[in-house]
Amino acid sequence: MSADVSPPLSSGRGPLLRWFISSSAFGVPQAAGPIAFSLVALSLTGEATDGAAMMLAMTLAQVAGAIPIARLGGSLPIATVLRVLVVIRTLALVSIALLAAYEASFTWLIVLAAVAGSVNGAAHGYLRAVLNHLAPASRLPRTLGIAATLNELTFVLAPVAASGLGTVSPVFAVLVLAVVGALPALLIPSTGSTHVAAVHGLPASLLRPSILLWLMCAAGGGAAVAAIEIGAVALALNFGYEPALAILFTVPLCLASVSGGIWVSVRNRMATRKTVLAQLFIMTLGSALAALDLSVATTVIATVLIGSVLAPLSTYYSLRLDTLAPPQRRAEAFALLRTANAMGVIFTSAALTVVSLSMALMVVTGLMIVVTAVVGVASVRRPASPA
């Protein structure tokens, strides 16, 4: 593996603080999008569910565009590529607001949502790659734990803000999420001339077994979390509650995830393979408890189990790809990680659409059992591996 192209550039806490703010703001369009797009769709078509078509277009485009777009920016400075991608997303979101204000065809809004989503995966990869030039390896676990905690807070607060702003004007809600999502273009610290261009001798593909293992885990985790987040309303109805009480399941999930992020930050060490295997088992157990449909209390416990290991696992996957991917292709590797998570969300969305809630939860549990088993087998075959 080639040596890193440059040492960390961080001098003081200022650049790292700007990265934290950029990381939190970057997720706002995706976090607030479901609510904001649903309100826009309701105002244009009379059907709030049409907003799901915009989110689906955004997510599918993210999966399709992550790697090709990440590779296009390989010869440019990392921070510059990130700024360009964020600007493209911002222009697409602002265009959605303008077309919605002029009551344009809803089809154009779906197309623009796809444009906004197409750069999400690659931009996330570059955002994560910037961090390697701001914090030394010894501080990455703590830094990623803080970022995971802030990300969860974003996904808790952004939908609430979008709902409140949407009552004033759906168009205004989209404009606000576009402006907040544009902050990384203004705040991201510079990495100088450091870029991620490939050099001679690098492997042709990142999809090697050692990397695929953790991408599979990220997809499984994304599916498990999405089963609770997307199925929250259906869970509430299943137990005889009003749809608004879906927060009985989403809030404990997010609070547990925040707690997990704090734990990672305080611990500031990369987990061992045995610890990761135990955490995957906890997530599998949580999925199984939710699928059993025993009671509200049991299902809430299930969400807490899933949420408690979300940040530790996501931090571990990021750190593993940091060591497995060549430095010049880290942005691409992190884009793959984001894509894997999105594919898990798509998997769960499809399952919830095609089969019943209980069956979908069983399918997701089956996926987590497979993921955990594969990691267990890989751990037995490579007992000497440090991770």
Q: How far apart are CA 14 and CA 256, in angstroms?
A: 29
- Give dist(CA 230, CA 354) in Å, integer: 14
Cα 154 to Cα 307: distance, rounded to the nearest angstrom: 15
Cα 337 to Cα 58, 206, 331, 365, distances in angstroms: 17, 11, 10, 21
Q: What is the rounded distance in angstroms from the CA atom of residue 288 to the CA atom of residue 372?
A: 13
Supply the Cα-derived Rg of the chain in whole angstroms: 20
Domain 14-187 is classified in which CATH homologous superfamily? MFS general substrate transporter like domains (1.20.1250.20)
CB contact at 8 A, 131 and 315: no
Q: Under a CB-based contact definition with an 8 Å cutoff, are residues 305 and 325 in contact? A: no
Record the tokens describing residue 284, joined without a space.
Answer: 């599998």
| pLDDT given at position 387 | 46
Domain with CATH 1.20.1250.20 in the chain: 14-187, 209-381
Distances in whole angstroms, Cα of residue 96 to Cα of each of 5, 50, 85, 166, 251:
39, 14, 17, 14, 30
- Cα–Cα distance between 334 and 340 in angstroms, integer? 10
Counts of helices then strands in the chain (DSSP H, E): 15, 0
Contact 298, 289 (CB under 8 A): yes
pLDDT of amino acid 27: 87
**Alpha-carbon distances of 170 from 99, 110, 223, rounded to whole Å:** 12, 16, 29
Top CATH class of 209-381 equals: mainly alpha
Q: Which two tokens stand for residue 236?
A: 């509430």
The residue ranges of the chain whose pLDDT is under 70 are 1-12, 48-49, 74, 191-206, 243-244, 382-387
Beta bridge partner(s), residue 195 = 77
d(CA 172, CA 179) in angstroms, rounded, equals 11
Residue with tokens 């050692």: 210
| 3-class DSSP state of 242 | coil
The whole-angstrom separation of Cα 37 and Cα 31 is 11
Strand-pairing partners, residue 77, are 195
pLDDT of residue 8: 45
CB distance 194 to 327 below 8 Å: no
48: enclosing H helix or E strand: none
**Do 44 and 96 touch, CB atoms closer than 8 A?**
no
140: closest CA among 10, 21, 26? 10
293 touches 236 (CB < 8 A) = no
Tell me the whole-structure pTM to 2 decimals.
0.79
